Structure 1
Amino acid sequence: MSEIKPLTPYRPAAGRDGEVTCLPFDVFYRAEVHEIIAENPNSFLRVTRSENDFSDDANPTRDEILARAKDNLDRLIREGILIHDTEPAFYVYRLESNGSSQTGVVAGCSLEEYKGGRIKRHEKTQPDKVADRTQHIVHLRAQTGLIFLAFRGTAKIRKLLQKAVLSQPIYDLGCDTGVTHTIWKCTNTCDWIEAFEEVPTIYIADGHHRLESALRARDILRAEDPNGQDGQFDHVMAGLFPAEDLTILAYNRAVEDLNGLTETDLLAKLTESFDVQETTDTTPARHGEIAMYTGGKWYKLTRRNGAAEPSDPVDRLDVSILQNEILAPILGIHDPRTDKRIQFVGGQRGVTELERLVDSGEAAVAFSLFATTMDDLLAVSDADEIMPPKSTWFEPKLRDGFLVNPI
C-alpha cells in the first residue's frame, strides 16, 4: 500500500508556463543559468539557483542567497505570474519526445513511508547537498521541484491515466529541447488514492537529495511547532510514473589524467582483463561492453570470455565494472564521489562532450557506457543496495516551476 495525497500548489497563470518553467537546477552550468535569467527575469531558475542572481564579484552569504530566492518566489506570486490552486487535486503529467511518451501523476507522497523504507532508494546522498536543499525548503516554506518516482504499473492506474488525458489540459508546452510537457488537473482524488493502495513499493528514479532534504525539512518544521497538526511538510511533491514507461540514458565518465601512465601503458593494462579493439563505434551495443576515447581514438573494451558474470545486482552494472576493473585499479579513482579527477557527463551531452573534453586537454581519457536499465534499478532497490554514484540519467527531465508545493 502506498499513500498519496492531493496537492494545493502554486502554478503558472495561463500563458505564463513557457517563461516560468525550466529544467532542474542541477543540469545547468553556471554560465548557462546567467544567460537564461538575463534573458528571462521570470525564469524559475531565479528561485532554484538564486546565487546566480548576484553579480560575479558579489560573493553573497548563504542567508542572502536564500533571502533572494524567497523574494523571487514571492514576487512571482504577488504579480500573479504564479496562481494558487486551492482545490485539492492530483496532476497528470505527460512528457512526449522523439515519438515516445511517459505519463504519470503528481502527488504528495508520505515522508514517513520514505523514512520506513517503503519508498526505496538506490543512491547515497551527499550531506552538503542535502543541507543546502533543506535550508532552501525551510526558508521558502515550499517544495520547489518535483522528485521523480517510479512504480510497477497497475491496470487501475493505467485506466485513470488514460481517462485523464482525454480532458482539457491546463498546460501544453512544447520546448526547444524537443519535449512537449502536458499537464491535466484531476479532482477525482478518491479514485487516485484507492488506486495507489494497490502499489506495494515506490522507487526513487531521480531526486534522492530532494527527498532526503524534504525529510530533514519536515523534522525541522515539526521541532518548531511540536503541537501542530499534520501539515503539508509531512508529504513531498513528486511525479510518479510507471517504471515500464521510463527511459534511462548512459551516465558517462571522463578522467583528467592517466594516473602516471602513458597511453601505451594504459592499453597494456586493459588487455589483462579486456579484449581491446580500435573502433568507430562511440556507444556500446550491449551490457559488458565499454567504449573508451583517448589520444583521438575510440576503443571497444569487452570483458574476456570466461569472465564470470557477477550475481550481485550492483556488481553486474556496467558502471560498477568500469569502477571496479578500470577506474580504481588502473586510474586510481577509488572514491568517485570525492575524487576531483573525474567528471560525469550525463544523457544528452553524449559522446560529443566526451570527445571535446579529451581533445581540449581537460581530460585524458573518457568512457562511454551501456545505459543502466529500469530492471537494473528495481533489482538494486529491491535488494536494498546502493548503486555507484551517477549510474542513471533519466530523459526527458521533469520541469521545475509547473507546480510549487507550499508547506
Structure 2
Amino acid sequence: MAKIHPFKAIRPTRDKVNLVASRSYQSYTSFERDSRMDYNPYSFLHIVNPGYKYHKEISGEERYKLVRNRYLEFKEDEIFMQEDSPCYYVYKIVNREQESFCGIIAAASTEDYHNDVIKKHEDTLQDRESTFKEYLKTVGFNAEPVLLTYPDNDSISKIISETVGARAEYEFTTTNRDTHYLWKIEDQKSISEIQDAFSSIKTVYIADGHHRSASSYLLSQDLKENNPEHNGNEAYNFFMSYLIPESDLKIYEFNRLVKDLNGLSKEEFLIKLDEWFRIENRGPEVYRPSKPHHFSMYIDDEFYSLYLRKTTYEFTDALEELDAQILYKTVLKPILGIEDLRTDTRIEYSHGKNGIVKVKSDVDNGEYKVGFGLFPASVEQVKKIADEGLKMPPKSTYIEPKLRSGITIYEF
C-alpha cells in the first residue's frame, strides 16, 4: 500500500514565486539560461547554475557545493520560507491549449520504490543514478517532483475539488502561457483522509522521473547505513512527488528521425519494409497514424502509411505490443542497423507536441533521410508493461504535465 506523506516544504514567498519558478535546467539553451539570469536575480536557475556568478563552467563536487551555497543564500535572503507544519499541496496547471492537470505534491516512500509499490516502466543508467545521488547528498534538497500517477480515487478527488474552491496560495502565468496554481492542505482531518486514501491504493506508477526516483532510493540507503539511530521516518526515506490521477495524464509519442538508410537505396529499403508492413504512398499530404500498430513515414518529399502485418509479427507480451518496440524490432535494428537507441548518433527523437510537420521539416532540410511518426501509447499500455516487469525502449513516451522547479522544495 502506498505511503504518501505530507511534508514541510521550502517554497518562495507569494510575491516572488513567478520569478523563482523555472523549467528544468536541461530544457533551456545556454542563451536562454543566460538571458533569464541576466535580468532575473530570483530565478531558480541561479541556484542550479552557480558557475554563472563567476562566468565559468563548473562541474562535479565543486558545482554541488556551490548549488548548496546559492540555495542557502536564497533562504537567508528570505526569498524562500518554510512551512510551519507538514502539508499536502494541490498543484494545478492549465496550459495554453486549456488542458488542465491537477494533483497533489507530497513525499513518496523510497521503500515503496524498492518494493515495487511504485512501479517503473523505463530502465535507468547506473552512472546517472550514482551521479544524481551524490548531487542530492551534497545539496540536501530536491526541487523537481517525480511525476507519479494513481488510479482515479473518489476520496482524493473530493478533497482536491473542495480545496481548489478557495483562493490559491500561488497563481501565476509563465511566458509560454501556462497558468500555475498551488493550494495548501494543512487541516489534520483532510491530511488523514488523503493519507488513508493513498494507503488503500495498491500500486502507483512513475510517469516521469525514473532516475530521480532511483537516485533517491540509493541516497536513502547511504544515509541509513550512516545513521545508527535510523527509524524509517527520516526525511531521506522519502522523495518529493507530484501525484495525479490517471485520467489527468497526457501521453504523447516520440517520433523517430534517422540520418541514413544504412547503405540501402530507397527502393531496397521499401522492399525490406514490405516484409513487415503493408505500404501505401500518401504523396506530399501530411499523414499521421490514427491507431496503434500504424506508422507514418516521410522520405523524399512523400509520406507513406505503414500497416503492421500481424500475421508476421508476434505479440508475446505487453512490450511487444508497444509501437516504439515494434518499430525497433522490425525497422530500426534489422534494416537500419541501429542497435542502441540511447547512444547511436544516427537517430534522433521529436516529441509529439512538435507534430509530424516537425519531422517533415527536419527531413526536408537534409539533416535526416527518413522520419517515422508513431501513435501515442496509452496509460493502460504503460501500466501493463510496468506490471509485467518490462521496460520500454528509450523515448517511448513524452508525458505531461511538465512541472516547474523551485515552487516546492523538499529537504532531507
Q: TM-score range by the shorter chain?
A: over 0.9
Q: Report whether the alignment pairs 1:157 with 2:144.
A: no
Structure 2 partner of 1:5: 5
CA contact 1:120–1:382 (8 Å) conserved in 2: yes
Q: Report whether the alignment pairs 1:355 with 2:360.
A: yes
Equivalent AA in structure 1 for residue 84 of structure 2: T
Secondary structure in 1 aligned to 2:355? helix
Counterparts of 1:54-65 in structure 2, within 5 Å, are 55=55, 58-65=56-63
Structure 2 partner of 1:196: 198
Q: Offset at 1:50?
A: 4.8
Structure 1 partner of 2:241: 238
Task: Between 36-45 and 396-405, report the one with greater CA deviation.
Answer: 36-45
Equivalent AA in structure 2 for residue 269 of structure 1: K
Structure 1 partner of 2:294: 289
Over the matched positions of the two proteins, sequence identity in percent amounts to 29
Counterparts of 1:195-234 in structure 2, within 5 Å, are 195-229=197-231, 230-234=233-237
Structure 2 partner of 1:37: 37
CA distance 1:76–1:362, shift in 2 (3 Å): farther
Counterparts of 1:264-279 in structure 2, within 5 Å, are 264-279=267-282
Q: Distance in 1 between matches of 2:162 and 2:390?
A: 37
CA contact 2:168–2:181 (8 Å) conserved in 1: yes
Q: Distance in 2 between matches of 1:195 and 1:316?
A: 33
Q: Distance in 2 between matches of 1:146 and 1:96?
A: 18
Secondary structure in 2 aligned to 1:108? strand
CA contact 1:30–1:52 (8 Å) conserved in 2: no
Q: Report whether the alignment pairs 1:75 with 2:78.
A: no
CA distance 1:305–1:404, shift in 2 (3 Å): closer
CA distance 1:175–1:137, shift in 2 (3 Å): same
CA distance 1:380–1:71, shift in 2 (3 Å): same
Structure 2 partner of 1:111: 110
Secondary structure in 1 aligned to 2:242? strand
Q: Distance in 1 between matches of 2:239 and 2:227?
A: 18
Task: Between 120-129 and 31-40, report the one with greater CA deviation.
Answer: 31-40
Q: Offset at 1:213?
A: 0.8
CA distance 1:333–1:152, shift in 2 (3 Å): same
Equivalent AA in structure 2 for residue 73 of structure 1: Y
Q: Offset at 1:145?
A: 0.9
Q: Offset at 1:205?
A: 0.5
CA distance 1:41–1:294, shift in 2 (3 Å): farther
Number of paired residues? Answer: 405
Q: Distance in 2 between matches of 1:296 and 1:242?
A: 41
Q: Distance in 2 between matches of 1:119 and 1:383?
A: 13
1:81-116, Cα deviation, whole Å (9 max, x unpaired): 221112110001112232332211111111111111
1:220-258, Cα deviation, whole Å (9 max, x unpaired): 222333334531111111011111221101112222222
Question: 1:261 is matched with which residue: 261, 264, 268?
Answer: 264
Equivalent AA in structure 2 for residue 253 of structure 1: R
CA distance 1:307–1:47, shift in 2 (3 Å): farther
Q: Offset at 1:75?
A: 2.2
Equivalent AA in structure 1 for residue 137 of structure 2: V
Q: Distance in 1 between matches of 2:275 and 2:317?
A: 23
Q: Distance in 2 between matches of 1:93 and 1:163?
A: 13
CA contact 2:276–2:313 (8 Å) conserved in 1: no
Equivalent AA in structure 2 for residue 142 of structure 1: F
1:273-301, Cα deviation, whole Å (9 max, x unpaired): 21222332342111111112222332221
Q: Report whether the alignment pairs 1:381 with 2:364.
A: no
Q: Distance in 1 between matches of 2:209 and 2:61?
A: 24
Structure 1 partner of 2:179: 180
Structure 1 partner of 2:135: 136
Equivalent AA in structure 2 for residue 43 of structure 1: S
Task: Between 87-96 and 187-196, report the one with greater CA deviation.
Answer: 187-196
Calculate the TM-score normalised by the size of structure 2.
Answer: 0.92
CA contact 1:90–1:107 (8 Å) conserved in 2: yes
Q: Distance in 2 between matches of 1:339 and 1:146?
A: 30
1:5-46, Cα deviation, whole Å (9 max, x unpaired): 111111111121211112223434444434433343332233
Equivalent AA in structure 1 for residue 372 of structure 2: F
Calculate the TM-score normalised by the size of structure 1.
Answer: 0.93
CA distance 1:11–1:385, shift in 2 (3 Å): same
Task: Between 106-115 and 159-168, report the one with greater CA deviation.
Answer: 159-168
CA contact 1:102–1:241 (8 Å) conserved in 2: yes
1:66-86, Cα deviation, whole Å (9 max, x unpaired): 123222222222222221112
Q: Offset at 1:190?
A: 1.4
Counterparts of 1:292-307 in structure 2, within 5 Å, are 292-304=297-309, 306-307=311-312
Secondary structure in 2 aligned to 1:315? helix
Structure 2 partner of 1:342: 347
Structure 2 partner of 1:15: 15
Secondary structure in 2 aligned to 1:88? coil
CA distance 1:51–1:299, shift in 2 (3 Å): farther
CA distance 1:378–1:132, shift in 2 (3 Å): same
CA contact 2:249–2:401 (8 Å) conserved in 1: no
Task: Between 225-234 and 203-212, report the one with greater CA deviation.
Answer: 225-234
Q: Distance in 2 between matches of 1:337 and 1:75?
A: 38
Q: Offset at 1:167?
A: 1.7
Secondary structure in 1 aligned to 2:81? strand
